[in-house]
Amino acid sequence: MKNPSVDTHLLPADSGTIGTEPLLAVDNLHVEFGTRAGVVRAVNGVSYALNAGETLAVLGESGSGKSVTAQAIMGILDMPPARIPKGEIRFRGTDLLQLSESQRSQIRGQQIAMIFQDALSALNPVFTVGWQIAEMFRVHKGMSKKASYAKAVELMDRVRIPAAKQRVNDYPHQFSGGMRQRIMIAMSIALDPDLLIADEPTTALDVTVQAQIMELLAELQRESNMGLILITHDLGVVADVADKIAVMYGGRIVENAPVHDIYRNAAHPYTKGLLDSIPRVDMKGQELYAIKGLPPNLLDMPTGCAFHPRCPFRQDNCVTDVPPLHEISGTRSSACHYWREVLDGTAG
Amino acid sequence: MGRYVVRRLLQAIPVLLGTTFLIFALVYALPGDPIQALAGDRAVDPVFRATMREMFHLDDPLIVQYGYYVQGIFTGDFGMTFRGLPVSTIFEGKFQVTLNLALMALVIEAIVGIGLGLIAALRRGKAADTAILAFTLLLVSVPTLVSGFVLQLLLGVQLKTSTGIDFFPVAGTSEGWRSYLLPGLVLAGTSIAYLTRLTRTSLMETLRADYVRTAIAKGMPRRRVLGRHALRNSLIPLVTYLGADLGTLMSGAVITETIFNLNGIGRQLFDSVYLSENSVVVGIVTVLVLIFIAANLIVDLLYAVLDPRIRYE
């Protein structure tokens, strides 16, 4: 529910031709960290695009680079040690990486907002939740204390926190995990951002609460037509809300697909492994499938395809040749030399 | 909250009894005869000695003597010196001097220590950080005796003779709060070093916290992220340290008071130990313990103000 009279967009309207240019386009992004042990290449050429009103789920295990990519979009990486040697992050056609720090902090929170995994540690323990939400209006909009607190109560209502008016002066530790995450959400949508990045928003929550939070996010997105990037390692979470999925492994995207295609059949052995390791009712009593081996060491990446040491379909050229992202259809791609075989089940 | 304060004050009683008994026992165990100390090298009249020993209960067992002492304390009577003066008249004005000195040191410590610590944390790994860390090392290494005389010479004497600026009195308490500037600085020296390092660590830790990242993600200006979101959280351990340090500063003022000729409790304590004026020694320690307990209670209450997660019921 955008209010057209409030112009939150600081970028000129003609920057990038909105309509053809997606809301967000990450292009060949590389992020590395200089550490004492060497250079950690956390993100190695990630590209994805997102339109307004669309939900992209970025899937991958710890260390796959999914959060680092999000932090690069947000501009909250610690630089140094982080570096972005290559790549573009175009938001409404403007490359965010070319903007100054003050220009970026104008976009942060107002046009691109972020929700973090653990709301208890992500909220400041020494300020009331009302103060933390109201701060968005006070700092970005110059509102009075009273008006900004009224806005905070409004937002807490909108994310369905019971008795918002009574609870606005409570501290984060006085809320349950689910309620805290709702406060994070309220804070992030305060200024009607165009893009919301949710970094594992439900990982720290109970299963029942997870569903409620996902439902809330989906509803808020429908109302405001914002783009949503959902970072998760949980395939179950994304099925109902995502439009498309990007699967990351070892700092690369290994498969891009519309959500329904990917659940029908995977075009990359890693995606297939992930799908096979979801517990299913009809497999009750049988041993749960697990992808063998460990995630790659980012300091010492395997040669060729990063997944080859764990791949059940490995061939000789997987060890030597890095697979490019093969286009399968207009909306689907896979970084596997043998995607055809994986897709029709004849691999291995 | 009120109940918490009462409980803490009640808890202070065994602490007070324990510490005073300890110091009482230590003084009791000191070699030498306090009555003989009054007369120096001359012989003491046996009748006088007997009367004095009787009057000061010196022939009673330790625990009985302590009983008399505690009885006095609870009626506000610190007892008499062997020279016939009430201990409370000896205290007169001296606690004020030492308290002024300690508070001045505390203020200097807080300003310089937290300031340097903040700079070091924000310039982590850079030249300013390294310089500050080296400076703290210097502060801990130079003994009060050296820093006291050097500062007296540089700021008190040479500054005056070379530029005519006469701002730092080198001795006595005649110049009001300015009298305490140099001794306060000298007394604060080591504590500044510790507080600087504590502030640096604390802020660096806070800057890594998730809620700081959230504040940045909210688009808050850097100054607000540091000054509101990070600083408030990193202050919590510093307040604890400062509170506990007040007691340390008060009891550690002996040398500083001597160098700067301040008529405070530190020197009195030293003299009294020397002269075997046991009642004065125990009295001073008793008051110091009380101040220490009060400072810690205030710190704990402040804690709840700074950190809403802490509640005292």
Give every CB contact of residue A168 below 8 A, 6+ residues apart in sequence.
Answer: A128, A129, A130, A149, A152, A153, A156
CA distance, residue A126 to nearest chain B CA (Å): 6
Question: Nearest-CA neighbor of B267 among B86, B140, B280?
Answer: B280
Residue B195 has pLDDT above 90, yes or no: yes
- Collect all residues of chain B within an 8 Å Cβ-Cβ radius of residue A74: 217
DSSP secondary structure letters along A306-327:
TTGGG-TT--HHHHHSPPP-EE
Q: Does A126 touch chain B (CB under 8 A)?
A: yes
Chain B residue with CA closest to A73: the answer is B217
**Range with the largest mean pLDDT of A130-134, A215-219, A276-280:** A130-134
Q: How confident is the model at residue A347 (pLDDT cuts 50, 70, 90)?
A: low
Contact A122 B221 (CB under 8 A): no
Residue A12 has pLDDT above 50, yes or no: no
- Of the residues B218, B236, B238, B239, the best mutation for testing chain A's interface (the one with the most A CB atoms within 10 Å of its CB) is B218
Please give the Cα distance from A223 to B255 (Å, whole number).
72
Q: Which is it for strands A252-258 and A332-334: parallel, antiparallel or unpaired?
A: antiparallel
Residue A247, helix vs strand vs coil: strand
Residue B108 has pLDDT above 60, yes or no: yes
Instruction: List the 180-239 stretch of A: residues with Cβ below 8 A of B.
Output: 184, 187
Residue B20, helix vs strand vs coil: helix
Chain B residue with CA closest to A196: the answer is B217
Contact B218 A187 (CB under 8 A): yes
Average pLDDT of the segment spanning A5-31: 62
Let me know: does A256 contact A245? Beta carbons within 8 Å.
yes
Please give the Cα distance from B108 to B293 (Å, whole number).
22
Question: Nearest-CA neighbor of A171 among B310, B231, B230?
Answer: B310
Q: How far apart are the first and last CA of chain A?
A: 50
Contact A105 B213 (CB under 8 A): no
Sign (positive or negative) of CA dihedral B8, B14, B15, B17: positive
What is the pLDDT at residue A131? Answer: 92
Give the other-Cβ count within 10 Å of A312's Cβ. Answer: 11
CA distance, residue A319 to nearest chain B CA (Å): 39
Contact A124 B219 (CB under 8 A): no
- Collect all residues of chain A within an 8 Å Cβ-Cβ radius of residue B222: 105
Own/partner long-range contacts of A340-343 (Cβ < 8 Å, ≥24 apart): A341/A313, A342/A266, A342/A267, A342/A268, A342/A269, A342/A272, A342/A313, A343/A265, A343/A266, A343/A267
What is the pLDDT at residue A3? Answer: 44
Average pLDDT of the segment spanning B120-129: 87
Buried b / exposed e over A38-68, threshold 16 CB at 10 Å, is eebbbbbbbbbbbebebbbbbbbeebbbbbb
Residue A308 has pLDDT above 50, yes or no: yes
Give residue-wise pLDDT tens across range A227-260: 999 998 877 777 778 888 999 988 888 888 888 8
Please give the Cα distance from A109 to B55 (Å, whole number).
79
Number of continuous H segments (helices) and E segments (strands) in chain A: 13, 12
Please give the single-letter amino acid code of residue B76.
G
Q: Does A123 touch chain B (CB under 8 A)?
A: yes
Question: Nearest-CA neighbor of A311 among A287, A329, A280, A337?
Answer: A337
> Cα angle at A218 between A6 and A190, to 5 degrees?
30
Give residue-wise pLDDT tens across range B252-277: 778 888 888 888 888 888 888 887 78
Classify residue A265 as exposed, middle or buried by CB count within 10 Å of its CB (0-12, 13-18, 19+).
middle
Q: Which residue has the tokens 């510790």?
A: B194
Please give the Cα distance from A65 to A72 (Å, whole number).
10
What is the pLDDT at residue A28? Answer: 87
Domains of chain B in start order, with CATH, are: 16-89 (no CATH), 94-263 (1.10.3720.10)
CA A258 to chain CA centroid, nearest Å: 16
* Token pair belonging to B103: 């508070």
> Is residue B287 within a helix (H) or strand (E), and if so which, with residue range?
helix B278-306
B295-to-A122, B302, B311 alpha-carbon distances in Å? 33, 10, 19
Give residue-wise pLDDT tens across range A181-226: 889 988 988 888 999 999 888 877 777 888 888 888 888 888 888 9
3-state class percentages of chain B: helix first, strand second, coil last, to nearest 5 = 75, 0, 20
Chain B residue with CA closest to A71: the answer is B217
Record the pTM.
Answer: 0.76
DSSP secondary structure letters along B71-84:
HHHHTT---B-TTS
Chain A residue with CA closest to B210: the answer is A122
Residue B124, helix vs strand vs coil: coil
Residue B37 has pLDDT above 80, yes or no: no
Q: How confident is the model at residue B97 (pLDDT cuts 50, 70, 90)?
A: confident
Average pLDDT of the segment spanning B295-311: 82
- Collect all residues of chain B within an 8 Å Cβ-Cβ radius of residue A121: 209-211
Angle formed by the axes of helices A207-224 and A177-188, nearest 10°: 20
- Collect all residues of chain A within an 8 Å Cβ-Cβ radius of residue B205: none
**Which among B213, B216, B308 is the nearest to A171, CB-wise?**
B308
Please give the Cα distance from B191 to B136 (Å, whole number).
9
Please give the single-letter amino acid code of residue A11.
L
Buried b / exposed e over B167-205, threshold 16 CB at 10 Å, is ebbbeebeeeeebbbbbbbbbbbbbbbbbbbbbbebbbe
Average pLDDT of the segment spanning B50-71: 81
Give the other-Cβ count within 10 Å of A295's Cβ. Answer: 16
- Collect all residues of chain A within an 8 Å Cβ-Cβ radius of residue B221: 105, 139
- Collect all residues of chain A within an 8 Å Cβ-Cβ radius of residue B309: 125, 171, 173
Please give the Cα distance from A242 to B162 (Å, whole number).
77
Q: How confident is the model at residue B313 (pLDDT cuts 50, 70, 90)?
A: low
Number of continuous H segments (helices) and E segments (strands) in chain B: 16, 0
Residue B22, helix vs strand vs coil: helix
Q: Which is it for strands A38-50 and A55-59: parallel, antiparallel or unpaired?
A: unpaired
Let me know: does B242 contact B163? Beta carbons within 8 Å.
no
Beta pairing partners, A253: A248
- Collect all residues of chain A within an 8 Å Cβ-Cβ radius of residue B209: 121
Classify residue A104 as exposed, middle or buried by CB count within 10 Å of its CB (0-12, 13-18, 19+).
middle
Look at A117-126, A138-147, B168-177, B257-266 and tell me which has the smallest mean pLDDT.
B168-177
> Is residue B188 within a helix (H) or strand (E), and if so which, with residue range?
helix B181-207
- Of the residues B213, B214, B226, the best mutation for testing chain A's interface (the one with the most A CB atoms within 10 Å of its CB) is B214
Please give the Cα distance from A203 to A208 (Å, whole number).
12
Average pLDDT of the segment spanning A130-159: 89
**Residue B279 backbone dihedrals phi, psi, to 5 degrees:** -65, -35
Let me know: does A81 contact A41? Beta carbons within 8 Å.
no
Let me know: does A239 contact A259? Beta carbons within 8 Å.
yes
> Cα angle at A198 between A193 and A204, to 5 degrees?
140
Please give the Cα distance from A85 to A29 (Å, whole number).
8
CA torsion, ordered A91, A94, A95, A101, to nearest 10 deg: -90
Contact B308 A126 (CB under 8 A): yes
What is the pLDDT at residue A348? Answer: 58
Q: Does A299 touch chain B (CB under 8 A)?
A: no
Q: Which residue has the tokens 């409030």?
A: A6
